[in-house]
């Protein structure tokens, strides 16, 4: 995956996370949910995307630069 595409995905995810927190803040202002729970959704999403990127890089044979070493 090219670096510019990865950065674009991360930026879009962060914007979506901020929108989620903003909408969650509106919901929390109407209910009695602690604010700490709102941070859990974007953190989980970021961890999931990070896990997917890491696992893809570890499994991909095309990105294995050790195969090209002599």
Domains of the chain, residue spans:
3-59
pLDDT for the residue 64: 62
One digit per residue, pLDDT tens: the chain, 70 residues?
Answer: 788 899 999 999 999 999 998 987 887 777 776 767 767 888 899 999 999 988 887 887 666 666 666 5
Q: Report how far residue 67's alpha carbon sits from residue 21's, in angstroms, rounded to the nearest whole number.
A: 43
pLDDT for the residue 50: 92
pLDDT for the residue 66: 64
Q: Report how far residue 2's alpha carbon sits from residue 55's, in angstroms, rounded to the nearest whole number.
A: 16
pLDDT for the residue 19: 95
Q: Report how far residue 53's alpha carbon sits from residue 24's, in angstroms, rounded to the nearest whole number.
A: 27
Q: What is the pTM of this model?
A: 0.43
Q: Report how far residue 17's alpha carbon sits from residue 45's, in angstroms, rounded to the nearest whole number.
A: 8
Other Cβ atoms less than 10 A from the Cβ of 55: the count is: 10
């Amino acid at each position: 995956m090219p670096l510019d595409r990865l950065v674009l995905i991360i930026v879009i995810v962060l914007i979506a996370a901020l929108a989620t927190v903003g909408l969650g803040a509106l919901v929390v202002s109407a209910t009695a949910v602690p604010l700490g729970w709102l941070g859990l959704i974007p953190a989980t999403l970021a961890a999931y995307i990070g896990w997917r990127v890491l696992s893809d890089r570890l499994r991909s044979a095309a990105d294995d630069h050790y195969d090209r070493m002599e």
